[in-house]
Each structure stands twice: as structure tokens, then as C-alpha cells.
């Protein structure tokens, strides 16, 4: 008995709207696309070679090769779509004085008790689009709870977000 295949989540729902990305992230997308397009002919040859072994219903090597080829095609389509919708986040000094996409923000968390001193309550975040976030590296989305709360605020403003442990207040110390 075969289990019916599900369509990819990405194929079922069409994602629309701009993708906010840095110049470096845009460059990485283009490099990834070039790499996938370069690998595609090899995957096609491998799939054809595996298909020549005979019965495809019992041919695990063919199924693996076909799956790899399909994944590669889907990745190429996804990246091409992202490139079409990309909006480059301007780099350089923030002259607006408020938190914007691309801003680096230094915050002080209010009400946190740290055993090693007050300096540890300072956190630095870069506000980016959802495709380049990495909270462990201090890169958060402008759509995240903290990123959305910070947008358009100025140095000295306080923002409060709801966390699982209760409300958390942050003071904006610096905007770069």
C-alpha cells in the first residue's frame, strides 16, 4: 500500500509580499541559485542513469535521485521567487533617529536581576527581514514581537513586550 504524497506546504500556500533582505543576504541568495543551477545537470544525469536500471517502483536509487532532482527544482523556483520580491535594506548610518529596517539597536532590559552586574542587561540587536534572522547572533525580524515594538521608536524611548514570564520592558540606549 502506498501512502499518498502531500504537496509541499510551500506549493499549497502562495507567499506574497516583499522580502526585506540585506545586500549580503541578496548576494548569498544569488550564489545559492547559481550553485543549484550548476548542480542541476548532474542530478538529471544521475536520475536518468538510475532509471535505466529497470523497474522504477522497486528502484530505491531512482527514487532517491528523483527526489533530489525535485527538491533542487523546488529550491530553484523558491529562490527565484525570493529574488523577484527582494527589497534591499539600505546599509549605512541611520540618519532618521528612529529604529528602522537595518538599524542596530542597543537596549537595556529593565527589571532583570543579573548576578554579574548591570552591564549584562544590555543587548544589541540588528533589525532585519524575516529571512535573515538569527536571535543568537542578535539579528531579529522587524515582525518579531520585540522588533515590531522597537520600530519607529527613538533613543531613550521605552518599549514593553509580553513574554512567557510576563511583561518585559526595554529602554533604547542607542540606534546605529
User: Rounded mean pLDDT of the chain?
Assistant: 86
Residues 71 and 112 both lie in one domain = no
Residues 32 and 70 both lie in one domain = yes
Residue 10 lies in a domain: no
Q: Contact 108/171 with Cβ under 8 angstroms?
A: yes
CATH number at residue 71: 1.10.287.180
Nearest to 111 by CA among 157, 167, 173, 175: 167
Residues 29 and 80 both lie in one domain = yes
Of 54, 88, 122, the last residue of a domain is: 88
Instruction: Using the predicted structure, report yes or no on whether residue 34 has a pLDDT greater than 90.
Output: yes
Instruction: Using the predicted structure, report yes or no on whether residue 3 has a pLDDT greater than 90.
Output: no
Residue 169 lies in a domain: yes
Residue 9 lies in a domain: no
Residues 22 and 66 both lie in one domain = yes
Tell me the average pLDDT across 38-48: 95
Number of domains in the chain: 2
pLDDT tens-place string over residues 82-129: 999 999 998 877 778 899 999 999 999 886 554 345 445 889 999 999
Query: Which cell numbers hold the place of 128?
Result: 532585519
Range of the domain at 68: 18-88
Residues 33 and 81 both lie in one domain = yes
For residue 107, what are the β-bridge partners? Answer: 123, 172
Residue 6 lies in a domain: no
Q: Model-level pTM?
A: 0.75
pLDDT tens-place string over residues 51-63: 888 777 778 899 9
Direct distance between the N- and C-terminal alpha carbons of the chain, in angstroms, rounded to an integer: 60
Of 88, 123, 139, the last residue of a domain is: 88
Residue 7 lies in a domain: no
Amino acid at each position: 500500500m502506498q501512502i499518498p504524497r502531500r504537496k509541499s506546504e510551500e506549493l499549497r500556500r502562495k507567499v506574497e509580499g516583499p522580502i526585506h533582505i540585506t545586500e549580503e543576504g541578496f548576494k548569498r541568495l544569488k550564489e545559492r541559485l547559481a550553485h543549484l543551477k550548476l548542480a542541476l545537470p548532474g542530478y538529471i544525469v544521475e536520475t536518468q542513469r538510475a532509471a535505466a536500471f529497470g523497474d522504477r517502483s522497486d528502484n530505491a536509487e531512482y527514487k532517491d535521485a528523483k527526489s533530489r532532482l525535485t527538491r533542487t527544482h523546488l529550491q530553484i523556483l523558491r529562490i527565484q521567487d525570493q529574488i523577484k520580491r527582494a527589497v534591499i535594506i539600505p546599509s549605512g548610518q541611520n540618519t532618521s533617529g528612529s529604529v528602522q529596517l537595518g538599524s542596530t539597536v542597543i537596549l537595556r532590559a529593565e527589571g532583570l536581576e543579573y548576578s554579574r552586574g548591570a552591564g549584562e542587561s544590555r543587548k544589541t540587536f540588528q533589525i532585519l527581514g524575516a529571512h535573515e534572522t538569527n536571535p543568537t547572533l542578535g539579528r531579529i525580524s522587524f515582525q518579531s514581537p520585540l522588533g515590531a515594538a522597537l520600530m519607529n521608536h527613538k533613543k531613550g524611548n521605552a518599549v514593553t513586550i509580553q513574554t512567557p514570564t510576563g511583561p518585559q520592558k526595554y529602554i533604547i540606549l542607542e540606534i546605529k
